Amino acid sequence: DNWPDLFRAFYVHNPHPSFTQVEDVTEPFDPNRQIHVAPVEVTLDEIEAITAFVATLTPKDLGRPVQSK
């Protein structure tokens, strides 16, 4: 169960790199490339705080395990 690691690194998985900026981690957006959504700007400390909060939540029983590709 590696959800915390995946959650902490969400910004490297599509589609997040196209609109997510992590302070002192990700490269700035290319100024020649138009962004069609408001960018998400976050720090590693904020990602860690969000991950800690999510870890306190009880998962919802969806009737069967979540399947992902």
Cβ atoms within 10 Å of 22's Cβ, excluding its own:
19
Examine residue 32 and state whether it is found in any structural domain, yes or no: yes
Structural domain including 24 reads 3-55
State pTM to two decimals: 0.77
Q: Is the pLDDT confidence value at 1 over 70?
A: no
Give Cβ neighbours of residue 25 (< 8 Å, ≥ 6 apart): 11, 44
Asked if the structure places residue 66 within a domain, the reply is no
Select the more confidently predicted residue: 22 or 59.
22
Residue 11: pLDDT band with limits 50, 70, 90: very high
- pLDDT given for residue 64 in this prediction: 84
**DSSP E strands, 1-69:** 20-22, 40-42
Q: How many domains does the chain have?
A: 1
DSSP β-ladder status, 20-22 and 40-42? parallel
Q: Could you report the per-residue pLDDT of 22-56, keeping only the tens digit for each?
A: 999 999 998 898 888 899 999 999 999 999 999 99
